[in-house]
Chain A
Amino acid sequence: MAATDTAHTTAPGVDLPPAPPRRKGSVTRAPGEKALVASPSTWFVWAGVAAFFIFLIGILVSVVVDSLGKPWFDTWLPENFTTDWYTGAWDRFGMAQIIGVTLTVAIVVIVLSVLIGVPAAYLLARRNFPFKRIITLLFLLPVLMPPITYGIPLATVMYNFGLGRSLVAVILVNLVPSVPFVIMTMTPFIEQINPTIENAARMSGANMRQVFTKILGPLLVPGILAASVLVLVRTVGMFELTYLVSGPQTDTLVVAIYRAMTASGGGEARQLVSSMAVVYTVTMMVILIIALRYVSPTQLVARVKESRED
């Protein structure tokens, strides 16, 4: 009986004891964690990380060097350096077209998956309704399944509908993993926004539409941007699904590189492929850098949390 408890701990005429002050961010770190001389296990870990980086940097640098070299066979470095491979690849594969397709697909997929995913994430975060568990599972399945498992039946359906090799098909197949991804990242983000903020807005006279545009929208922007960046990276890098439905006019960059590498008759000159791969990486980095300029999620998220903890 709660009433008994409350009354017994609260003598009249005596102030309630102050609620235990809530502290945030006071993380206690285990003391003495850092040893002066690194232990063998530390060396082992660092050696592993170093080996990983050697591979990584080796891979990156050798592709760049290869794309600039002419000719490069049994030596440390190519004999001459040239940019011919780039101009060659640009003309030969119609890189402008490919990059255009890649960006179009990426942007359309981002916009659609945010429009579809965020409202669903909002409901999953805020509400209880019948069959919620099943619906949640349904949204998560495409992330758990290997893309090719659902990709092949999906591609078959696309071809049946006459959408094969079209831009629409490429966009649709890329939505399948992207929408669940947006739902997965946005649900916890929405959960950490205090629901009474929405009630407060309604009590101030805002209708549902205004609550969404004036209050929730601005608060969700950092989360949406972060999810968009991740969807972008996934979509530009998504090979398996795109490959199943794309054709010569609708290949994205990854697929074009793969086709160049595996073209019948031993493939294109290695350097051509390398130059395309470099273009791919540079495109990706540029997109990421631009995206990261507009995303400063930490600030806003921190602000939301701060005002919640007090």
Chain B
Amino acid sequence: MSAPAVRRPRAEKSTASRRHRLAERGIDTSLLMLVPALVFAVALFIYPFTYGIGLTFQPSLAMQEQWGAGIWSNYVAFFKDPFIFDSIYLTMRLALPVALFNVLASIPVAFKLRHKFRGKKTLTILLVLPITLGTVLTAQGLLIFAGRQGWLNRFLVQIGLIDQPLTLVNNYWGVVFSLVISGFPFAFLLISSYLSGIDPSIEAAAKTMGAGWFQRFRRIILPLLAPGLATTFILTFVLAFSVFPSARLVGDAMGETRVMALMAYRAFGELNDYPMASTIAIMMGLVELVVIALVLVWRSFMYKGSTGGKG
């Protein structure tokens, strides 16, 4: 109904006050409820972040002397110093496989736990338990349990599977184990809830049309699950990407697990070079955004919409 030309003048002249006109566009005093959260976001997130970006262009004298390039010398250092630059590769080498493993391993487990069976609740709770353990305790436990004299090696030697104790901690694998232990339950929890959002009758319908389990998975479940998979991957990737205590405690901090977070902290806490620390931190954010963007591009090719379930 939009023929304003003939509309009568009475309808034309709004008796509404300015307040009403604003209310029409969704602005009124109740928006004040948003103020605390906005103040919080600006003060504790936006401001520090922009401040940090500004800081990256104020390199320390030592940096300027070593790398030149004036205000850009932090960035030059980041890309030219192999000690720092290689940490990108070392971080990716850890975070990508771990995030991928956590997501892929969660799918079959979530599938098996979808149906009702005795002890399901207990099992789910046990699977989720490590979320409360935290990285530090996991690290301590891994050092003892999977160390050279730990129960794991002891058992493997005892049954004759290996001759010499395996080195499972203080290297790449130690960090992988710790990331799987803390990341897998999280991925499992998310994927389970996405899976429960898919109406089982959809799968039943596919079954009546003669689709085998692989076809059902490939053609029905996977496309519906894809957005959930993407989100889960992003979140587990963020967890693994910012790995820091475990890289130090069960990894090889100056060698194969010299991740970006460690480098950033080293600049911050040990060298007290705040501009360089901010530079590494901002670059971490950028690298992560690139990965997230790639995942979102993949997701945009998949089905978007309702999964017909009960949320």
Contact = CB atoms under 8 A, between A and B. Distances in A.
Interface in B141-191: 141-146, 149-152, 154, 177, 180-181, 184
A259 to B, nearest CB: 10
B141 A239 contact: no
B40 A62 contact: no
Nearest to B39: A116
Interface in A54-70: 55-56, 58-60, 62-63, 66
B109 A257 contact: no
Interface stretch (A13-21, A81-89, A119-127): A119-127
B238 interface: yes
Interface residues of A, number: 86
Given A27-B200, A56-B181, A145 B136 contact: no
Given A62-B145, A149-B284, A258-B245, A119 B137 contact: no
A284 B46 CA distance: 32
A257 B268 contact: no
A175 B37 CA distance: 11
Chain A interface, >50% SS class: helix
B108 A41 contact: yes
A135 interface: yes
Contact of B268 (A55, A127, A152, A237): A152
B297 interface: no
B149 to A, nearest CB: 5
A153 B31 contact: no
Contacts of B207: 30
A34 B115 CA distance: 9
Interface string A197-236: 0000000000010000000000000000000000001001
B42 to A, nearest CB: 9
Interface stretch (A4-12, A45-53, A93-101): A45-53
Given A119-B33, A240-B261, A261-B140, A150 B132 contact: no
A135 B34 contact: yes
Interface string A250-281: 00001001100110000000100110010011
A156 interface: yes
A146 interface: yes
Contacts of A154: 44-45, 48, 52
14 contacts: A27-B201, A29-B115, A31-B204, A53-B126, A56-B130, A62-B144, A74-B149, A115-B36, A129-B27, A138-B46, A145-B288, A240-B242, A240-B244, A258-B136
Interface of B: 25-27, 30-31, 33-34, 36-38, 40-41, 44-49, 51-53, 55, 105, 108-109, 111-112, 115, 123, 126-127, 129-146, 149-152, 154, 177, 180-181, 184, 199-201, 203-204, 207, 234, 238, 241-242, 244-245, 248-249, 261, 264-265, 268-269, 274, 277-278, 280-282, 284-285, 288, 292, 310
Given A155-B268, A258-B249, 10 more contacts: A27-B201, A49-B127, A58-B141, A120-B36, A130-B26, A146-B285, A153-B48, A159-B274, A284-B132, A285-B132
